[in-house]
Chains A and B, each alone.
Chain A
Amino acid sequence: DQQVKQNSPSLSVQEGRISILNCDYTNSMFDYFLWYKKYPAEGPTFLISISSIKDKNEDGRFTVFLNKSAKHLSLHIVPSQPGDSAVYFCAASEGGADGLTFGKGTHLIIQP
């Protein structure tokens, strides 16, 4: 039973446009959400996070939106750059220092 779902295995976006990656979750106890970026044969790199008391968090070109009632979060990248091409993982936690639950990832491809 997947508690964190990323329903788009891949997404292609033109350079300079907005990339929107989506994530849905089913566990109501999740209260901390993260996005990671990953290249092949490397470890994931932390991008941005949001706690359940907020609905938006920004860091440079990256913005994460959280809709608790819909159990949905999204990552917006504006403007998209060629170096953004990677697999993006959504992850969630019930708080504390327990492990994270990950989605299966979305492969973002930035077209020149």
Chain B
Amino acid sequence: DGGITQSPKYLFRKEGQNVTLSCEQNLNHDAMYWYRQDPGQGLRLIYYSQIVNDFQKGDIAEGYSVSREKKESFPLTVTSAQKNPTAFYLCASSIGLSNQPQHFGDGTRLSIL
């Protein structure tokens, strides 16, 4: 079954710690994305990557970092510099061409202890 896998489903972090969220896709998609959702809000773009070894900042990149060493993987690190990291994080992928939809994983909920 092709799809996007995010792990873990729930994640807890102590203040001052970095934490890495996993996102893997087996859809052979070129483009991958990270979004953040807060209660009552829409999704906001953190980072995206259109090709391996390249990525761009989205609207709210401060306090986050990413890597794209493999086509199928796009991990997101939430650093201690992110002042309000508690949120629902969603990973998506797309073919990478114009006017093509993005498809999402089931998300990771990050909470601060």
B interface size (C-beta, 8 A): 35
Q: What's the count of A-B pairs with C-beta under 8 Å?
A: 72
CB <8 Å contact, A97 and B94: yes
A interface size (C-beta, 8 A): 28
Which chain B residues lie closer than 8 Å to A51 at the CB level?
99
By a beta-carbon cutoff of 8 Å, the part of chain B in contact with chain A is 4, 6, 30-31, 33, 35, 40-45, 48, 50, 56, 58-59, 88, 90, 92, 94-107, 109
CB <8 Å contact, B90 and A43: yes
Which chain A residues lie closer than 8 Å to B30 at the CB level?
97
B98: min CB distance to chain A, Å: 5
Chain A's closest residue to B6 (CB) is A43
Which chain A residues lie closer than 8 Å to B44 at the CB level?
102
A102 to B94, CA, bound (A): 16
By a beta-carbon cutoff of 8 Å, the part of chain A in contact with chain B is 4, 9, 31-32, 34, 36, 41-46, 49, 51, 89, 91, 93, 95-105
Chain B's closest residue to A96 (CB) is B98
Which chain A residues lie closer than 8 Å to B92 at the CB level?
43
A91 to B72, CA, bound (A): 24
CB <8 Å contact, A99 and B104: no
Q: A99-B33, A99-B58 are in contact. Are A41 and B107 (CB under 8 A)?
A: yes
Chain B's closest residue to A49 (CB) is B101
Can you name 17 extra interface pairs (CB under 8 A) apart from A43-B92, A96-B98? A9-B40, A41-B106, A41-B109, A42-B107, A43-B4, A43-B107, A46-B101, A89-B43, A91-B43, A95-B98, A97-B30, A97-B96, A98-B48, A99-B35, A101-B45, A102-B44, A104-B42
